[in-house]
Structure 1
Amino acid sequence: MIKLDFYATLVAMVAVLLIGRFIIARLKVLNDYNIPESVVGGLFVAILIAIAYKFFNLGIDFDKSLQGPLMLAFFASIGLNADFASLKKGGRTLIKFLVIVAIFLVIQNLVGISLTSLMGENPLIGLLGGSITMSGGHGTGAAWAATFKEAPFNFPHGLEIAVACATFGLVMGGLIGGPVARFLIKTYHLKTPERNESEEDGAFESPRKQRLITASSFIESLALIAFALFAGIQIEEALKGTALALPTFVWCLFVGVILRNLLSLFKVHQVFEREVSVIGNVSLSLFLASALMTLKLWELANLALPLFVLLVAQAIVMILYAVFVTFRMMGKDYDAAVLAAGHCGFGLGATPTAIVNMQAITQRYGPSHVAFLVVPMVGAFFIDIFNAFVIKFFLSLSFFG
């Protein structure tokens, strides 16, 4: 067993990200489906470690002291970027889409739990292959996997399963979104908008001049995240064992939301969203690099078939829901088709996948400003809030006791 201390582990985490970037630059398919460099590099290193363990009886023990703070910083950054004033812009469309997405979280978990129970597997696998990773992605999956390691669940292989499910979801989310929208546009002969070159695009549709990140502003953003972590941990400790008990990352996210909107309400400080996102994304990348390179892949072999069946079923359900529910409930027009493509993206993968799906459609058929306003707000923030409560509800059921 080779034991790496804090500094050696930090070097390894950064090396994982650089390896992932190197591989993605040479395999176009990984770049096309927006697979994160932390996932690619982490899985590559995990495979090498698995080979070393199986054939040379060699193991590596990493320092994990950074994993917790990095994960919490990522969720705090999501909260700090949630501006309730944006709700006014989305209006009824945003609320309707949010309800549709929230209902689908329940369906994903029902599908996951039902299938794993029928196959005789632990229902926790159904939750991990449900809304936790399908709609939550790698970050949410890793966070809940850490919770499942502890009592009363005592499920040690959660992280391996979460990574497998979230990675599959990213790929499938990118594969099905565009074809679903194109199918809807052609089947229903939807009227597509004319592109007006003089019309101003939204933030996700074209880049704008951006404020520079400086040392001074970086310290301000870091201070906000640090406070969100401190307060979130205190709240989690205070509510431990009560009906309101939730994982620490959920409270850090909540504190970020409250802090952001109080500062805006009283005009005390304007949160630098792009800078907070940079800190959050760096934290998530390092966290995933640390988490993935410590995977014990050899312990997943006996779950390969059940996971495959579960994930294929989730992809089929996502397609059906996007076509027969999301599209119809959102108005059966062009904007609804683009929203359906976006839902496929973050319903199986992540918000960046949703954006890429919608861009592929709008670049061909014309703009959809409604979709580019609603999907980022729902996919990047509101989904995590609703998902936390949906997961908490399912965990309260007797068969998870």
Structure 2
Amino acid sequence: ATGLAFAPLFEEAGVSGAAPVALAMAMAGIVSGALIGGPAGGWLVERNRLDGRSSPAPKPRVDPAAQAAPDASGDAGDEESAETWAVMKNAVLLLVAMALGSWLSAWIEARGVTLPAYIGAMIVASVIRNLDDLTGWFGLSMRIQDTIGAVSLSLFLTMALMTLELWELAGLALPLLVSLIAQVVLILFSVPLVFRLMGRDYESAVMGSGFVGFMLGTTANAMAVMRALVERYGPAPRAFLVAPLVGAFFIDFINALLVTWGINLLQ
């Protein structure tokens, strides 16, 4: 999704077929991250004889939507109405973040800074989310937000696949393969470094597997491979806090700055 968001900027800079290349690399990275992340984390755990069973279990976050819903003895119609209201409220807040974010992106672009359109919405959404965590004003439901996000991402990728001209990749198969192999090798060499920097403990090993997941694929990859590890070795609450923050938030800002800087440098 990030690569496709940057594709129009590359095409404006004169790189033809940027969208098909971005999608091809994204798909290959998602598959590679899913295949490599789990074994890499498991290797760290086994090699260092780490034990996650002694880690404290994460405290579950109270879902406002579930909390507001009536119990099983209540009317089914009331329960459906409460769920509908929760979905609508979360969807409207997303639309508000997108609307305010579009204005913020336009303001940033007017200052001569070229960034993908989604950056403004990401900033506004992060403010809303943190404000809600602090005050509880909006009553955001992470369950509903995750569902909306999964559906939106699926629709986005489906529409992107339907509109791409994949034959443009015919002459790029070898460069793409070389690039993928280079990325995999670089990430695998970086995993022990991440493990050491994060503390050389069990949660550091889980973070290492998540690092592989989101560096090669997406944050969803990271969560999936980390979930597979904790199901086998034990809970790692700190890893599930750090990986989404880095993989889904901070890294997008860094990507935007670096890619935009590179495009502006080459123009």
Query: CA RMSD, aligned part only?
Result: 2.7
Q: Which residue does the alignment assign to 1:140?
A: 2
1:136-185 deviation digits (Å, cap 9, x = unpaired): xxx111111133233xx133311111111111111111121222223323
**Matching of residues 85-96 of structure 1 within 5 Å:** none
Match of 1:170 among 13, 30, 46: 30
Look up the equivalent residue of 1:382 and give its one-letter code.
Answer: F
Quick one: distance in 1 between partners of 2:53 and 2:88? Answer: 45
Distance 1:210 1:229, change over 3 A: closer
CA deviation after TM superposition for structure 1 residue 267, in Å? 4.7
CA deviation after TM superposition for structure 1 residue 367, in Å? 2.6
Distance 1:233 1:376, change over 3 A: closer
Quick one: distance in 2 between partners of 1:390 and 1:341? Answer: 24
Q: Does the aligned pair in 2 maintain the 1:350–1:379 contact within 8 Å? A: yes
Q: Which residue does the alignment assign to 1:218?
A: 87
Quick one: distance in 2 between partners of 1:201 and 1:235? Answer: 36
Q: Does the aligned pair in 2 maintain the 1:202–1:373 contact within 8 Å? A: no
Identity %: 37
Look up the equivalent residue of 2:122 and give its one-letter code.
Answer: L
CA deviation after TM superposition for structure 1 residue 249, in Å? 0.8
Q: Which residue does the alignment assign to 1:245?
A: 114
Residue 50 (structure 2) pairs with residue 181 (structure 1): no
Distance 1:193 1:233, change over 3 A: closer
CA deviation after TM superposition for structure 1 residue 262, in Å? 3.9
Q: Which residue does the alignment assign to 2:17?
A: 157
Quick one: distance in 1 between partners of 2:58 and 2:136? Answer: 27
**Matching of residues 252-291 of structure 1 within 5 Å:** 252-263=121-132, 265=134, 267-291=136-160
Quick one: distance in 2 between partners of 1:251 and 1:296? Answer: 29
Per mean C-alpha deviation after superposition, the further-off stretch among 311-320 and 282-291 is: 282-291
Q: Does the aligned pair in 2 maintain the 1:326–1:336 contact within 8 Å? A: yes
Unpaired stretches in structure 2, ≥5 consecutive residues:
70-81
CA deviation after TM superposition for structure 1 residue 217, in Å? 2.0
Distance 1:318 1:259, change over 3 A: same
Q: Which residue does the alignment assign to 1:230?
A: 99
**Length, aligned pairs only:** 253
Distance 1:318 1:222, change over 3 A: same
Give SS of 1:381's match: helix
**Matching of residues 103-118 of structure 1 within 5 Å:** none
CA deviation after TM superposition for structure 1 residue 304, in Å? 0.5
If the length of structure 2 is used for normalisation, what is the TM-score? 0.83
Quick one: distance in 1 between partners of 2:169 and 2:209? Answer: 32
If the length of structure 1 is used for normalisation, what is the TM-score? 0.57
**Matching of residues 31-46 of structure 1 within 5 Å:** none
